[in-house]
Amino acid sequence: MHQKFTSISLICLAALACNKDIEKILDFEYEERNIYIAPVFFYSGAVARADTLFATSYNTYLQIESANLIFSNFFVSTDIDTFYTDSLLRKQSIFSLTFQGKVPAGYVRSGTFRGGGYGCQFGLDSAVNFGTRPADYPPSHPLANTAIWEKDAGYDILQIKGVVIDSAAADSTQIVKPFLIRVRNLLNFEPIPQFQLKNFNIDNQRSATFECYIGLEAVLNLYNLHQTPIIGGNPFTLGSQDSMKTILENILIDFQ
């Protein structure tokens, strides 16, 4: 299954790279519409409840049907111990997380997958390792755990499927647009520790505009949101458009 999925993904990515229409996707049109998605992180701690979702002043919702991840390096937490592995679950490396109902645009705060004694969290509190960490995380915040910054928590493929629901007017005028996002780590299979999707928008012509972060900036921005959850309250520091293009070459958007 892993090999088949990888082959399909690589074929799709190759086709995408050859598609001149990619320029349309890479044409950034910044809009005040935000959806942030972060990958899975394993840690010992309470899973955030759905009712802790941050509020947003925008009338756009994200409904995720599933998120599939194929991991490379990651933490595993059990009732007995927390340890780091590179190969333990490779034969069972596809984790599926299912979300029900709508959540405010901007945040998929929590969702859990449990199987074989292993648990994970998907959402805003996903964290990464860069060897060091900011010293000002609140003690209760998952990023305050020093063990987080000692290991890489990465993935080879991140796939998210769902719909964007635009309810800017009444419910009767909702516009529902399905989407599938795939992110493939092509950098020598080194972990991509953090992925953040920003300003995701699908217009009536079924084209997409968005920004994204990978790396430390994403973590810091997610932390800023944790401290100041109102969207639009603080500006975000974006990388150059060239670096954005490099990232987006590894992203496939497939409208269903």
Q: Show Cβ contacts of residue 202 under 8 Å, excluding neighbours closer than 6 positions.
A: 164, 177, 179, 208, 255
Which value, in Å, is the radius of gyration of the alpha carbons in the chain? 18
Nearest to 76 by CA among 110, 126, 42: 42
Q: Show Cβ contacts of residue 23 under 8 Å, excluding neighbours closer than 6 positions.
A: none
Class of residue 171 by CB neighbours under 10 A (exposed 0-12, middle 13-18, buried 19+): exposed
Q: How far, in Å, CA of 254 to CA of 96, rounded?
A: 19
pLDDT score of 60: 39
pLDDT score of 162: 53
Q: Tell me, what amino acid is at 49?
A: R
pLDDT score of 64: 45
| Widest pairwise Cα distance in the chain | 52
pLDDT score of 89: 33
The count of domains in the chain is 1
pLDDT score of 147: 52
Q: Tell me, what amino acid is at 200?
A: F
pLDDT score of 70: 38
Q: How far, in Å, CA of 93 to CA of 213, rounded?
A: 24
pLDDT score of 176: 54
Q: Which domain holds residue 178?
A: 2-253
Q: How far, in Å, CA of 241 to CA of 217, rounded?
A: 15
pLDDT score of 132: 36
pLDDT score of 51: 29
What string of pLDDT tens digits covers the 256 residues of the chain?
A: 444 444 444 444 444 443 343 333 323 222 222 222 333 222 222 222 222 222 223 333 444 444 444 333 333 333 333 333 333 333 333 333 333 333 333 333 333 333 333 333 333 223 332 223 445 455 655 445 555 444 333 434 445 555 554 444 344 444 555 555 554 433 333 334 444 444 444 444 444 444 444 443 443 343 333 333 222 233 333 333 333 333 333 444 444 4
The CA–CA distances, whole Å, from 162 to 42, 64, 255 equal 23, 4, 10
